[in-house]
Amino acid sequence: MQEEVENRTLTLVVSGTKFTGRLFKAAVCKYMAYRREKKMEKQRSRDSPVIPHGKQSVKQLIGQNQGVSNLEITDPSIREFEKIARKYGVDYAVKKDRGCSPPKYLIFFKARDADALTAAFSEYTQKKVRNASRPSVLEKLNHFKELIKNAVVDRTRRKELER
């Protein structure tokens, strides 16, 4: 209980040559006006709608009334696209279509972000092509495991005396 009281104490610094009751009253009134203004500012900021950026839900994206377009991606590694879209500052929403056996991903984006999304999508496809052309580390490891299994190693010991 004592800690709560100590944490709620207030430090008010007033500079004046002669400290009177009127000076104290004026300082407290100024402090109270400052607190009221801060409270009103906080209330105003709460009332104004916050516009989300980056990844968001489809409902939030449509609620911004700027027109929505979509792209379809069948690749399951959607995380890579999300990183690139964040880099380009695109407002987008990802929706998974489970109707197909390999799930499709629909990427909704604002119509005004079409140029940025085109650049992001071209970078994403370049990255996928580059990664497809070189084998993964796991594939290399499995290849070397098979080579070791198939290699015939002569493990017999021979004891011979040399004279």
Average confidence (pLDDT) per 10 residues, the chain, 163 residues: 67 76 89 91 77 83 83 79 84 85 84 82 86 83 89 70 69
In a domain, 162, yes or no: no
Rounded to 5, what percent of the chain is helix, strand, coil?
55, 10, 35
Residue 117 inside a domain? The answer is: yes
- Asked if residue 157 is part of any domain, the answer here is no
Are 41 and 90 found together in one domain? no
Statement: the pTM of the whole predicted model exceeds 0.85: no
Q: Determine the distance from the C-alpha atom of residue 123 to the mean position of all C-alpha atoms in its chain, rounded to a whole number.
A: 19
Residue 30 lies in a domain: yes
Q: Domain limits at 142? A: 58-149
Contacts of 33 (CB under 8 A, 6+ apart): none
Q: Are residues 123 and 77 in the same domain?
A: yes
Is 117 buried (19+), middle (13-18) or exposed (0-12) by CB count in 10 A? buried
Same domain, 40 and 62: no
**What pLDDT, on the 0 to 100 scale, is given for residue 141?**
92
What is the tally of structural domains in the chain? 2
